[in-house]
Structure formats: structure tokens, C-alpha cells
Amino acid sequence: MTTHKLMRLAVAVLLAVTVSGGTLATTSELSPTVQAAAQTIKPNEKQAVAKFKQKYTKAKISEISLEKHLNRYQYEISGFDSQKEYSAKIDAQTGKLSAAKSEKLDADDHETAIKLNQVISRQKANQLAEKAAKSGQGREWTLETDDGQTIWQVDVVDGHQKTEVKINAINQKVISVETDD
């Protein structure tokens, strides 16, 4: 190909990307996005909790997080009963329990159970967080009780910028939006 044809091709590609509203990025910039999109998070948080409950039948749920660990997403679920606290890790692609532990509940621990039937889904929280952040995609999610409120904390990432959005998991109101540069 002649230099002139290569130049026209490059201009055409750049124009097509610009007109479509996309951005042109290097492979290293696309890598996390491609990886996140390619990995399907198969069990939702309720299915992950069901897997946790198979192991710890009487435990009440105190926290659910979904984070990337070694390029794979995994749920980490914490719970408690009157005598012990429990935690388990569940692979978000296969749904398999990968680690579980329990320990005696400390007398000064005051755990609060999350009422899962009252909270919005992770997908809905993600949608609200991405809108509040104005750009980026949700990458990590935590459902927990903070100051008496059940909240979803969503980390929305846009390039090298991370925005932490906290949403009331019951009434869907955005509590806070904090951006790290």
C-alpha cells in the first residue's frame, strides 16, 4: 500500500471512531475493559448468597462484595449468627465456593443483617452509580450497612480516574459521589 492510501485509511478509521462517539485507545488501555466485558458474572448476588447459605445455613448476611481478584471476579460474603461470624469467597464465573472460614463472634461486635428482599440489585445500583459518576463503568461493588443505612458502594472507573458512588440500597438515592484523580 502506498503512503497516500495508508494515510487515507488512517483518517477514515479516525473519522469513523469519532462520528460513532467512540474513542481510539491503545490495546493496554482497552485491556481491563475487554477483560471485564468478556468475563461474564454468572451468579447474581442472590445466587451467591444461596451458595453461602448452603455452607452456613443459619447465618445472617452482613456484607456482600464483588471485586476482581487475579483477573477474575469473586464474591466475598460475610455473615454471622449469635455465636460466630463467617466469610466465604465464591467465584463469580463458576459459582463455586473457593474459600470459607468461621470464627467466634467477639462480644463487642455488633453486626447488622442486610434484608436482601428489600434492596435493589447490583445491576440497578451500577446503573445509578454510572449515571451519578457521569462517565465510566462500574468495576467493584459492595453492599453493606453503614450508619444504619443499607448502601451499595460502587467504584466507577473511567481510564485512570475512579469515582466512588454510595447509593441507598432501599430508596435508590445517591448518598455521595467522590472522585479520585
Q: Which is higher by pLDDT, 53 or 9?
A: 53
Q: Which three cell numbers stand for residue 37?
A: 466485558
> What pLDDT, on the 0 to 100 scale, is given for residue 92?
95
Alpha-carbon torsion 59, 42, 156, 117, what sign? negative
pLDDT tens per residue across span 100-117: 999 998 877 778 999 999
Q: Which three cell numbers stand for residue 12?
A: 477514515
First CA to last CA distance, the chain: 43
Q: What is the pTM of this model?
A: 0.76
The pLDDT of residue 75 is above 50: yes
Q: CA of 67: how far to CAs of 10, 13, 89, in Å?
A: 38, 35, 11
The pLDDT of residue 130 is above 80: yes
User: 180: pLDDT confidence band, cut at 50, 70 and 90?
Assistant: confident
Instruction: Please answer whether residues 138 and 129 qualify as being in contact, where contact means their C-beta atoms are separated by less than 8 angstroms.
Output: yes
pLDDT tens per residue across span 19-73: 333 333 322 333 344 344 335 788 999 999 999 999 999 999 999 999 998 889 9
**How much of the chain exceeds pLDDT 90, in percent?**
67
